[in-house]
Amino acid sequence: MTATLDIASLLCSIARVGAESPLLPDLRAIEPFAHFFNRTGQIESNSLDKRDGSCTRRELILRFLVLNAVLDQGLDIVGVRRLLLQVTNNLYRREVRFLHSPAAFFAELGIAIDQIVGEHSSIKKIRSETWARENQSSPNKYNLFMDNAKQALSYTVFRWGVPLALPLLLERDERDEDRRDAVLVRYLKSWQSAEEMSQQLKDNERYGLGKAIGDKAGHLFAKWAVSSFALLREATPNWNAFSFEVPFDSNTGRVLWRTGFFLHWADESDYVRMKVVQRGAGKGGTNYIRVTNIRGMKAAVDLPDEIWKAYVEICCKHLRSHKKAPQTAEIQRIPLAYLLSAGTSVASAELDEGLIHIGTRFCFNHSEPKCRDCPIRKHCVARISKPELIRDYRT
């Protein structure tokens, strides 16, 4: 474990980077949303519950963001978001208004598949060389279909169809026609916190998206809905900036491993036992870091008293995961406690945006990241004293 790392400074520095360089979905570029924004480019928050055809504006944006969160698990964030944007606009131009009427997507499945395949081909021509260079890979391996799938039907029905089926089923289950304009909004707000909502989005027995969405994507959606676009935000602890865990993906795993954050809270042997670190399973025989396996993992060392107090508040008041103080700290929730204790204006969303920015612009998934230019280089254990954390590990 790394005893000398200044955890508070590291996390606050990452969060400040995220506050300055957010990489958010470009909702203004979605043509059916164009009139939802004012002249300064801000969402007209006072008009979010105004109907736009069959749905409220808030409802339509949330439907889009659920779909975006599912698709965002692909290998190239820029490419994935461009694919979703262009397919959405093209389908609406052809009067396939699938956000207003999800059934239209399935009724015109052939058109949807043609649009997805065509746009994917175009984006690959534009993005594959840049992606390959940054990831020390081959342009031929560029594929936005998740799980490296080759079949357009499977990808379209599973990754697009499942999140679109959620509002469709909610509409069918709502007997009052006057309430069908915001079925997803009411469903999401039916849970006691944004954290519980993110989990139910995946696990609910009737409406859960199951394997179509991971924990990371559920938290990503919570980040957008509660913090980034304030669609579900309220002035209560359980629906505010600390009410959901930081999304843990490959960028998070890589940055927090190399900076020494993970090794501050447990030894490498602990991560091996939990299969977070998988020896020899990475590219070129390196050690693979499967950061999703860290979920629920307990810290092997105690938190400082003031951080522990903040941790208890996070669990009991914000996440609403505990009715009384927990006995031990989960590693994935520790960053929120540090940010809450610091009393800064940055929280889960900004920390995640910082991890994404650093992971995609500097801390590349190979042995030659741009350490000299990285905005958190002064806090990085790998750069300062342990280059093996870069050389021997991949995410």
pLDDT digit string, tens, across residues 42-88: 999 999 999 999 999 999 999 999 999 999 977 898 999 999 999 99
For residue range 193-219, list pLDDT tens digits in order. 999 999 999 999 999 999 999 999 999
What's the predicted TM-score (pTM) here? 0.93
CB 388 within 8 A of CB 263: no
Residues 150 and 306: their CA atoms lie apart, in Å, by: 51
**Strands 277-278 vs 287-289: parallel, antiparallel or unpaired:** antiparallel
pLDDT in tens, the chain (395 residues): 544 589 999 999 999 999 999 999 999 999 999 999 998 989 999 999 999 999 999 999 999 999 999 999 778 989 999 999 999 999 999 999 999 999 999 999 999 999 999 999 999 999 999 999 888 889 999 999 988 788 999 999 999 999 999 999 999 999 999 999 999 999 999 999 999 999 999 999 999 999 999 999 999 999 999 999 999 999 999 999 999 999 899 999 999 999 999 999 999 999 999 999 999 999 899 999 999 999 999 999 999 999 999 999 999 999 999 999 999 999 999 999 999 999 988 899 999 999 999 999 999 999 999 999 999 999 999 999 999 999 999 99
